[in-house]
């Protein structure tokens, strides 16, 4: 049976506003990936599909959906930015 751990996820911009707080704790299973993290976050009523296009940084480095997330990691969700 896989163990579980909690990772704090820092939120910015519209994600922070929707969640009403700057950091959300997310519970993951050992061996979880960034994709698993996004799936877990999408279950939160503040997110739904709003994670589409968001970048994920793990330990201050942008990561792909296949990258592992382990206990002790620092995770941030960066919403898409538009400018002109």
pLDDT tens figures, 9-52: 999 988 899 889 999 999 999 999 999 999 999 898 878 767 87
pLDDT for the residue numbered 62: 98
* Range 51-58 average pLDDT: 90
Nearest to 58 by CA among 35, 39, 77: 77
Q: What is the CATH number of the domain that holds 11?
A: 3.10.20.30
Number of domains in the chain: 1
Q: Domain limits at 17?
A: 4-78
Q: Which residues contact 82 (CB under 8 A, 6 or more apart)?
A: none
Instruction: Could you list the beta-strand ranges (E) of 1-84.
Output: 4-11, 23-29, 55-58, 61-63, 75-78
């Amino acid at each position: 049976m896989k163990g579980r751990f909690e990772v704090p996820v820092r939120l910015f911009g519209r994600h922070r506003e929707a969640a009403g707080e700057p950091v959300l704790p997310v519970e993951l299973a050992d061996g979880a990936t960034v994709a698993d993290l996004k799936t877990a976050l999408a279950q939160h009523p503040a997110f739904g599909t709003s994670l589409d296009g968001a970048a994920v940084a793990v330990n201050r480095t942008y990561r792909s959906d296949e990258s592992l997330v382990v206990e002790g990691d620092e995770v941030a969700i960066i919403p898409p930015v538009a400018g002109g």
